[in-house]
Structure 1
Amino acid sequence: MSKFEIIGYEEGMEFNERPTISYWQDTWRSLQKNQVAMGALLVLILLTIMAIIGPNLRGYDYINMDIAQKNKSCSATYWFGTDRLGRDLFSRVWAGARVSMIIALVATTLKLFMGTFYGAMMAHFGGWVDDALMRIIEVIDSLPSLLLTILIMMVLGKNLFSLLVALSITAWCNTARQARGMIKQLKEAEYVSAAEALGAGPLRIILKHYIPNMLGILLLDASTSIPSFIFMEAGLSFLGIGLIPPEISLGVLISQGQQAMDFYPTQLFFPCVVLCIIVMAFNLLGDGLRDALDPRLRN
């Protein structure tokens, strides 16, 4: 007779083992339970599809002018009407949304890339390197971001490249601080010490060990940065600091619609609605990701 006996087990019965799931599978399962976040994700997918196919969906030229069709109201022919130069507003709104989203995605990528590696260098080397690099961040943060943006746009010109530089020049500092704090904790892990003992260089340790363990933080940072950049681009273009016609973006369309809002309010209404929906969807998805990525915030 065996020393231990399994209670409730009979000969021939099979054990039902609980399947193991990874951290990302658990995060996705938690996110699926958040109906608001999943709704926001669905809206973002639809908006992305419209930003890709929307400018050519109606078959109208959204760049060249047709004065004979200027300032048309909403109709079966022109769903959003036309602007003061006779261009289809439906196509222009989605073309502007595509440009605004691309700008936000590129600026967010630059922010995460610069901030992550800068923070990793501070935390990994420490000592005087950490102190010197942190002083640089403090100097950059002490400069008024709006004033710095205006100066960059004046020097480099009002174009897409200068706008990306202006949006990214200070935004990476917060990411660098987050990466520094996270990596200071990861640096004490045994697998990092083992990699250093085996002769792994700083770049390999950053790419192989630090960044994979920071993906949750970086993903959350990206989900909150994208709507912020979209809103910043729209605000700068509306004030005449960012992109200017003939460039198309939501900010440019809102600026042009504001000039005609007294007589043709739809030219302002539709770009504003699309901008608000995009920003709200990203913010709601970001809140859902924050709850799903942090086990302490789950119900």
Structure 2
Amino acid sequence: MKAQVFYSSYHIKYEDIPVPTITDDELLIKVKICGLCGTDIYKIQQESVQSGSVLGHEVVGTIEKQGRNVGSFKVGERVFVSHHAPCFSCKYCKQGTFSLCELFKSTNIKPGGFAEFIKVPKELVKNNVIPLPDSLSDEEAVLIEPFACAWRNIKRIQIEPKDVVTIIGAGPSGIMHLILLKTMGVKSIRLVDVVDSRLEFAEKLGAEDVINIKNKKIDKFKESDIVIVSVGNKEAVEEALDMVRVGGKLSIFAQVPDNTRVQLDPNLIYHETLILGTYSSTPIEQKEVFDMFVSGKLKDATSIISHRLSLKDFQKGLKLAVEAKNSCKILFYP
């Protein structure tokens, strides 16, 4: 089968690799779509993945083959697949920090979704595979995982409709937060970015106000109840610390390069600012977002898709995403 195989930063080859073999407790999925995530870009740029690996974890596909012990699915069925499964019983799961669970960190689809087929291991089959109704399109289904990540962040920082929310970064992550917050009835949502086209898109989707930080000062965005950092650089985090009001909340929702350090005034204690980091999602949020899609609450979701590319054109899509000028969510079709 064909796959995009990572060897080193920006050295990714479209080549043949073996179709995975499955055990009696596993599923073989034929990939229909795989979305490009900021985490994929981060791993490529930082070379934080083993040479010979295949990335990609936002997957929708059809069941090609199932093990004899997997009885709840059928061959040919369309499914959403997620890549991490918490145990729900360790101390981290019990306190709601599922991404710290050892099982969560160790589970994954193999290879990644930038391939024609993936293997779903036993640990994921139970909770991380959702059959899709005919009413849900492939493109809606492939957005379940990234929207679930944003939804978990919103839940953890306990945003309420009355809150004034500022989102730094109007890329896919920031826009997904905007769409979800609008669905919740939050009216005062402001976005900050350096790309005018992205800010214009945010306004079309209902952002109350936007600022290009290259051209204007952020003074009027200060005193925000909630600030969400959805872009991975230290300057964004430091700007966020100046935007959040006394007693407000700051959510860091983007990976920054390793060994990055942020300037932090220890006297922040007098502001009682809550700083929180959120990573990934669980089957809980995935099912909740799935229900939102089925009910029609996320009718604007697919508007974030800017490019639909063949898997063989992965390098083109990666370049578009990194340049971040005329792209938002990029999907690949094997």
Structure with more helix by fraction: 1
Larger Rg: 1
Return the TM-score normalized by structure 2.
Answer: 0.22
Higher RCO, 1 vs 2 (CA within 8 Å, ≥6 residues apart): 1
> How does the TM-score come out when normalised to structure 1?
0.24
